[in-house]
Copies of this chain bind each other. A is one copy, B any other.
Amino acid sequence: MPVAEFSLIYRYFSHLGRGEAVDLSVGDDCAILHLQPGERLATSVDTMVEGVHFPSDSFPEDIGFRAISTAASDLAAMGARPLGMTVALTLPDADELWLHAFSEGLAAAVSEYELPLVGGDTTRGPLTISVQVLGALPLGQAMLRNGASVGDEVFVSGTLGDAAAALAVMAQEWQPGADHVEYLLERFNRPRARLELGLQLLGSATATIDISDGLLADAEHIAAASGVKICIDPDLLPLSPALRSHDSRDTAVRWALTGGDDYELCFCLPAGVAPPAGTTLIGHVEAGVGVDCGLVLASPAGYQHFDDQ
């Protein structure tokens, strides 16, 4: 990419790099960050590809915000304190209007999550965004997937199935009321990483995961890693007013069980431990294997993103 384009891009992103943990931000060969004594580093990477993870007509602001949310969601699922991130952006061309709008989305996420942008790489090619997040964990504490025990209770944050419903709206397979449409598209385009909830759960949750591939598929990861069976009661699933407005409750429940992209947290607590506000009891942990929701679904696991084959 010509040097002038790099300068252009640098202009848009260079103000997003300041943060408490940042010693040196964008502009040298590496960024430099520091942890507090006794902290360890948590890191994860997530990629979004145009036409696979978001529709080609998405607003650039939403593409930027959503890419960061999906990556930051992995920090939330570990209970990590956000330190910073790098963004690898592959662009077909350096369209100034597009970059401006994209950087607005990044800036909104940087601000909301207190997750400064400390490094990046910009290359020419089909639109792809990889976000690597860096977080800090207290020594000896982290919420993994493998600690669920028989007798634990299972919870989720927020409401489930909204992003899947938004895809149905975008595909013109469902036409709810205008208010619901707006809400659902916002849920798909602007998912919120549950970083504060993750910090609240650190030390009490026995297992945690963020719901990116769908509740059943992600709960299955907890069940497999912990060597337990997770029982989910579909009647307990938290559904938004939009989903509750659907003529078919079965469809709404199926979205909540199998729809991905909600980025809520699913977590287990020992029986009797009070859950944080804004979370809902949806089941419990038994001896056994797999996930049981009392239903036979046509496609119970392996949520496919919107145009996966």
> Interface on A for B, CB 8 Å cutoff?
1-3, 23-24, 27-35, 37, 40-53, 74-75, 77-78, 80, 84, 86-88, 90, 118-121, 123-126, 128, 130, 132-135, 137, 142, 144-146, 208-210, 217, 225, 301-302, 304, 308-309
- Docked Cα-Cα span, A309 to B146, in Å, equals 50
B30 touches A135 (CB 8 A): yes
A123 touches B41 (CB 8 A): no
Indicate which residue in B32, B44, B123, B208 contacts A142 across the interface (CB closer than 8 Å): B32
Interface centre among A42, A120, A209 (most CB of B within 10 A): A42
A30 touches B42 (CB 8 A): yes
Name the distance in Å between A247's Cβ and chain B's nearest Cβ: 31
Indicate which residue in B44, B87, B118, B125 contacts A119 across the interface (CB closer than 8 Å): B44
Number of copies: 2
Known: A47-B123, A90-B49, A123-B53. A80 touches B30 (CB 8 A): yes
In the complex, what residues of B have CB within 8 A of residue A33's CB? 40-41, 43
In the complex, what residues of B have CB within 8 A of residue A29's CB? 44, 74-75, 77-78, 145, 208-210
Q: List 27 A-B contacts (CB under 8 A).
A: A2-B302, A2-B308, A3-B301, A3-B302, A24-B142, A24-B144, A28-B145, A29-B44, A30-B42, A30-B75, A30-B78, A31-B42, A32-B78, A32-B137, A37-B37, A41-B41, A43-B86, A44-B86, A45-B86, A45-B121, A49-B124, A49-B126, A52-B125, A88-B88, A121-B130, A124-B308, A130-B130
In the complex, what residues of B have CB within 8 A of residue A120's CB? 45
- Docked Cα-Cα span, A23 to B44, in Å, equals 14
A118 touches B31 (CB 8 A): no
Given contacts A29-B77, A41-B134, 4 further A-B contacts (CB under 8 A): A23-B40, A50-B125, A53-B123, A86-B132
